[in-house]
């Protein structure tokens, strides 16, 4: 899909850039994206599946080695991350 995304960097370059962008992203989220605390909060989560293979083959997947874990959602078991979002009533 290089035609659709001509400016995409390689995986190795992405990993290098990710380290540089971590601190500015944290500062941005702390200063601009936190809402006012009202006492009423709602939370939801969704799985970010890393490995589409069977859960028994999770040890063979090396992309997020040491970070991704086995998890469970309402549908089934998965290997990856769980994304949580917390919002308030405003």
Give the model's pLDDT for residue 55.
67
pTM: 0.46
What are 5's two structure tokens?
Answer: 């995304």
Whether residue 57 lies inside any domain: the answer is yes
Give the model's pLDDT for residue 42.
86
Whether residue 27 lies inside any domain: the answer is yes
Whether residue 28 lies inside any domain: the answer is yes
Whether residue 4 lies inside any domain: the answer is no
The continuous run of DSSP H or E covering 25 comes out as: helix 11-32
Whether residue 62 lies inside any domain: the answer is yes
Range of the domain at 60: 11-88
What are 25's two structure tokens?
Answer: 């992203």
- Look at the chain and report how many structural domains it folds into: 1
Write the CA distances from 13 to 16, 67, 86, integer angstroms. 5, 19, 32
Whether residue 1 lies inside any domain: the answer is no
Whether residue 3 lies inside any domain: the answer is no
What's the whole-number mean pLDDT along residues 69-77? 78
**Per-residue pLDDT for 20 more than 70?**
yes
Write the CA distances from 65 to 6, 22, 52, integer angstroms. 28, 19, 15
């Amino acid at each position: 899909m290089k035609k659709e995304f001509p400016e995409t960097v390689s995986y190795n370059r992405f990993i290098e850039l990710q380290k540089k962008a971590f601190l500015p992203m944290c500062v941005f989220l702390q200063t601009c994206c936190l809402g006012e605390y009202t006492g009423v909060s709602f939370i939801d989560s969704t799985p970010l599946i890393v490995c589409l293979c069977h859960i028994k083959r999770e040890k063979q997947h090396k992309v997020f080695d040491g970070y991704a874990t086995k998890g469970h959602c309402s549908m089934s078991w998965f290997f990856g991350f769980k994304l949580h979002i917390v919002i308030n009533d405003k």
